[in-house]
Amino acid sequence: MGIAKEEEAFHPVRVDYLLQIQTTIDYVEDHLAEELSLSRLAQVARLSDFHFHRVFLSMAGDTVMEYVRKRRLALAAKQIACSDERLLDIALNNGFQNHETFTRAFKRMFGMTPGDYRRQDIKPPSYAKLNVLQRKFNPYLGGIRMEYRLVTKPAYKVIGYELQTSTNDGENQRQIPAFWQEYLKNGWAHRIPNRIHKDSPVELGICYGFDMASGSFKYMIGMEAEHFENVAEDLVCREFGAAEYAVFTTPKVTPDQFSNSIQSTWGAVFGEWFPHSGYEHAGTPEFELYDERCHPGIELVQMDIYVPVKRKDA
């Protein structure tokens, strides 16, 4: 299993898929002063809300609403620098409801208030909108065939440790690896009771509880359990429903390349596989499965990615 490179013509459905996202980006640019919502932008892209949320995040590196916020702020910064327009008017004309919200968001992005930005006479560049059709945003363009299998998994119980995180500004990419390091360093695996795989630990990294508007979600490190009896208070017990998954196995790599391999496979799932698969993300929990193939001492490691899927509407 894994990702196999091959020489093939660029698939026309994949082009359409990229065009759907780019059309949405162009729409955002033309309607920044208006009220925009994830559902409205998903309609423009002709994708379901959750699938659009994940595809856009995969291609842009931000949730669509975070991208909208950054585009509004980039335009506002240009207007602050190149005009004498009142700061409040700039805020309102760029989709911010009041001066306080605008100032807070502006300071978060630029490290200073709009007033300080103007007083320092900063001349910002013309920040270009995202273009997902450019090759630099899509390292997998050119043809990749992904092998996968479909698995229907019954409802399952998990005991473990939970983290609240967010995709905003790549927060999850910092917090989740640190969470795993803490889990491994402290030997937390040994505290998980009632586990199904008793001889050799099989750990899951589960993403769930997605809030598409804020970009926040919960991440759990745990193991499948037979029951929830006699569980320590600081451990989290969660039950997840039955679902159909497309399962992708990462290529075998040395341990120092493992993280990159996982991220590359996730990127290929959304950038290459989904566009012409006939499936979309089901919007239910997704997880990574780590078993004996990636335990310490293994020379070449790999793992499985479980993505919940459903057939696209006709």
Q: What is the CATH number of the domain that holds 105?
A: 1.10.10.60
Q: Given this model, what pLDDT does residue 44 score?
A: 94
Q: Which residue, 104, 120, 136, sits at the end of a domain?
A: 120
Distance in angstroms (rounded) separating the CA atoms of residues 75 and 153: 47
Residues 168 and 102 grouped into a single domain: no
Domain-located, residue 179: yes
Residues 157 and 22 grouped into a single domain: no
Residue-wise pLDDT for 34-83, tens only, equals: 889 999 999 999 999 999 998 888 888 788 998 999 899 989 988 998 89
Domains: count for the chain: 2
With 90 as the cut, is the pLDDT of residue 274 above it? no
User: Is the pTM higher than 0.85?
Assistant: no
286 strand-pairing partners: 207
Q: Which residue, 120, 140, 162, sits at the end of a domain?
A: 120
Domain-located, residue 100: yes
Residues 255 and 307 grouped into a single domain: yes
Q: Answer for the pair 298, 306: CB distance below 8 angstroms, yes or no.
A: no
Integer CA distances (angstroms), 216 to 78, 166, 170, 298, in order: 29, 4, 11, 34
Mean local confidence (pLDDT), 292-314: 90
Residues 185 and 307 grouped into a single domain: yes
Residues 79 and 182 grouped into a single domain: no
Q: Which residue segment(s) compose the domain that 158 sits in?
A: 148-311
| Tokens standing for residue 153 | 């998994």
Domain-located, residue 128: no
Q: What is the CATH number of the domain that holds 272?
A: 3.20.80.10
Residue-wise pLDDT for 230-256, tens only, equals: 999 999 999 999 999 999 999 889 999
| Tokens standing for residue 246 | 């497309």
The C-alpha angle with vertex 269 and arms to 266 and 270, in degrees rounded to 5, equals 95
In 3D space, the residue among 179, 277, 194 whose CA is nearest the CA of residue 237 turns out to be 194
- Scanning the structure block, which residue is given the tokens 């803490």? 182
